[in-house]
Amino acid sequence: MKTIYFGILAMTFLSPCIAQITLDMEDLPQPGNIQISVKIDSTQGANLSPGSPGTNMVWDYSMLNPCCGSLQASYDTVTWINHSSTPKAGDFPLSNIARKDRCYIYHSHVTHTEATACYNNHYIVNNTGLFQYGFEDPVPVVVGTNWNIFPLLAYGDSTENVAHIQTPISADTVRVNHIISKSLADGWGTLITPDTTVQVIRITTTEKMYDTLYVNNVATDIHVYLDNYYYRWYSKKTGFPILEINKGFQNQKPPFSQKVKYSAYRYFSLGISESKLSGGIHIFPNPFTSAVTFQIDEGRIVLSVTIYNSMGRKVITNENIRQNKIDINGEKLPVGIYFYTIVLNSNDTFSGRFIKL
């Protein structure tokens, strides 16, 4: 399962008096959030220490290196969406948010073009945190007693969670994952990554997993993993960790190894001239100071344009446009990097970035 994270634009400098972070519902993901992460070099990630718990800490990870030959090749992106908009929403009736996952390209015999489809993971957001409710695996799988992915905790608080996942393999075979986890907010202070310095709270989760394969109700293959863990540093109103060091079932399949990822925002180049994407979309001027124009090649129509800020929050939404040229007034937007999503009448969706100076 791929989870990926979006970053923060503003640099928060070290201060001798650092406020303690308290998480609330505004810090959970919301539909429309976009998350971008940088995956870390596997050797560095496997040997990285999560550091010590405590108060008014400074966790310095400014030395992290990307994994995959270049920074751009190390990026990964995920989008949080409305649960009700997913094709299999009815299979997960209690969910109120979903996340696009495991996208793939296929040839449509209806449109005779290449199309993209995604499975969706389904979640519940409530006043205690973010819970995984089900998977499209591709067979719909509902998690028993819901799986707490992001608990809302204050420093020193803890919570325990038990999840039970039954995944059908065939008519007579089912895999059962029984997961026991405990989360503790064990530190707060300042986190430094290659992209940012920011005030955070750290939540450490330990995980025990019992993985059993049943054939005709008889256990035929049993694996026990008692030492899984997740270290996650959260800032305010991001909906995702700024840094994550993990070795657990929430992020990977067995055999488990330590992996690291951090939120990305700063490596997008400034001074970009007009960009023409492969979809025939122009955005200009870029950077802009007051207004920016989106234009699509003749013959296609833009249905909607959505603008997100550097934390993945929607700041502008224009719907029912039905034109091939759109002017966006950005005078009231703060200086920074923004992202856009354009939906065309062909159901194609294009995304990109632009800069407000």
Contact 191/200 with Cβ under 8 angstroms? yes
For tokens 């039905």, the residue is: 322
H or E stretch at 42? helix 42-46
Choose from 29-38, 159-168, 314-323 the range with maximum mean pLDDT.
159-168
- Choosing among 2.40.40.20, 3.40.50.1970, 2.20.25.90, 2.60.40.1930, the CATH entry for 275-356 is 2.60.40.1930
Q: How far apart are CA 3 and CA 44, in angstroms?
A: 19
The yes-or-no verdict on residue 2 having pLDDT over 60 is: no
Confidence of residue 40 (pLDDT cuts 50, 70, 90): very high
User: What is the reported pLDDT for 311?
Assistant: 61
Query: Helix or strand or coil: residue 44?
Result: helix
- Extract the tokens encoding 202: 């750290």
Q: Are 212 and 222 in contact (CB under 8 A)?
A: yes
Q: What is the mean pLDDT of the chain?
A: 84
- Residue 351's CB is within 10 A of a number of other CB atoms, namely 15
Work out the end-to-end distance of the chain between its first and last CA atoms, rounded to an integer number of angstroms: 37
pLDDT of residue 290: 85
173-192 and 54-60 beta bridge pairing? parallel
Q: Which residues of the chain form CATH 2.60.40.1930?
A: 275-356
- Read off the tokens for 96: 């109120």
CB atoms within 10 A of CB 3: 20
Q: What pLDDT, on the 0 to 100 scale, is given for residue 66?
A: 92
**Is the pLDDT higher at 44 or at 310?**
44
Model confidence at 269: pLDDT above 60: no
Q: For 125, what's the count of Cα atoms within 13 Å in the CB-facing half-sphere? A: 17
pLDDT grade for 9, boundaries at 50, 70 and 90: very low
